[in-house]
Amino acid sequence: MADGYFTDASMLRIVHRERAIALSGPRALLMQAAHPLAVKGLLAHSTAVDEPYDRLARTAETMSTIAFGSREVADAVTAHEPAMHARVKGRATTAVGRHPAGTPYRADQPDLLLWVLFTLVDSGAVVYRKYVRSMSRAQEAGYWEDYKVVGELFGLARSDMPDTLDDLHAYRRDMLTGDDLHVTEWAREKARKIVLDPPVPWIARPLLETANFVTIALLPDRIRREYGFSAL
C-alpha cells in the first residue's frame, strides 16, 4: 500500500508476509513473561498469559495492519496504546530477581516497552532465518529500522531504542546475561500451560505440539532453562 509506513521493499513486509512468522508469536510471549516487571506491568494486568492465543491473534493482526495497511489505519489501531499503558501501574508485592518488594512499575516504562519490542523483532528474525531463508546483516539492520517505527507507534522515543544493529545486539547480550530477567513461578506455571496444555480440539493437537516444539527449541538457552524446559 503506497500510503503506509512501509513499502514492499521494507524488511518488515518481506519478513511478515511469510506464514512461518506465526511461529514467532509464542516465543516472543514467553520471552516477554521472563521479565518480572513486564509480567506485572504488561501481562498480568491483561489476559495476555491467561488467554495467550487470543493475545497472539491480536498482536498478529495489529502487526499486519502496521506492516501492510495505510498510515491512517495503523495510527488508528495503535492510538490508544500509550494511554492504556499509562493507566497500568503498581508495585511488586514480593522480591523477584534483582527487584525488591515494593519496586514500582508502569506499563509505559520505556525499558519494559523496549523489552517487549525486542522480543518481537528477535523472534521474527530467528524464525525467518530458521524456516525461510538467511538474513544478511544489512537486511537485519533494515528490519530493526522498521521495528523502530513500530516502537514509536507504541509510545517509545527513538532515544529509548538501540540506535544501530550493533547496539541492538549489545542490548540482547546485556539482557540475556544480566539480572533483569527472572522467570517467576507464576510465569513458569502459565508458560507451561501455554505450551503443554493448549485449549484446542484433539484433532489439532499434533500440529500445535509441533509448533510448541519449535517455540521451546528456539528460546534463548537461559530463558528455556529458567522455564524448566529441557534442551531439545
Written in H, E and C, the secondary structure of the chain is CCCCCCCCCCHHHHHHCCHHHHHHHHHHHHHHCCCHHHHHHHHCCCCCCCCHHHHHHHHHHHHHHHHHCCHHHHHHHHCCHHHHHHHCEEECCCCECCECCCCEEECCCHHHHHHHHHHHHHHHHHHHHHHCCCCCHHHHHHHHHHHHHHHHHCCCCHHHCCCCHHHHHHHHHHHHHCCCCCCCHHHHHHHHHHHHCCCCCHHHHHHHHHHHHHHHHHCCHHHHHHHCCCCC
Mean pLDDT of 67-76: 94
- pLDDT at 219 exceeding the cut of 70: yes
* pLDDT for the residue 231: 65
- Pick the residue with more confidence: 114 or 198? 114
CB atoms within 10 A of CB 87: 10
- pLDDT at 83 exceeding the cut of 60: no
* pLDDT for the residue 168: 98
* pLDDT for the residue 124: 96
- Pick the residue with more confidence: 202 or 181? 181
**What's phi and psi for 5, nearest 5 deg?**
-70, -20
Mean pLDDT of 85-109: 73
Cell of 187: 510465569
* pLDDT for the residue 10: 97
* pLDDT for the residue 225: 92
pTM for the whole thing?
0.87
d(CA 96, CA 94): 6
* pLDDT for the residue 42: 58
d(CA 39, CA 227): 14
Evaluate whether 89 touches 107 at the Cβ level (below 8 Å).
Answer: yes
CA 70 to centroid of chain Cα atoms: 23
pLDDT tens profile 4-49: 999 999 999 999 999 999 889 888 989 998 998 887 655 554 554 5
- Pick the residue with more confidence: 195 or 138? 138
What integer best gives the mean pLDDT of the chain?
A: 85
Cβ neighbors of 51 (< 8 A, separation 6 or more) are none
Task: Of 125-129, 142-146, 201-205, give the lowest mean pLDDT range.
Answer: 201-205
* pLDDT for the residue 230: 76
| Torsion of Cα atoms, 107 then 110 then 114 then 117, to 10° | 60
d(CA 146, CA 115): 16
- pLDDT at 143 exceeding the cut of 80: yes
- Which single residue is written with the C-alpha cell 492510538? 79
pLDDT tens profile 157-176: 999 999 999 999 999 999 99
C-alpha triplet 181, 183, 187: angle, nearest 5° = 135
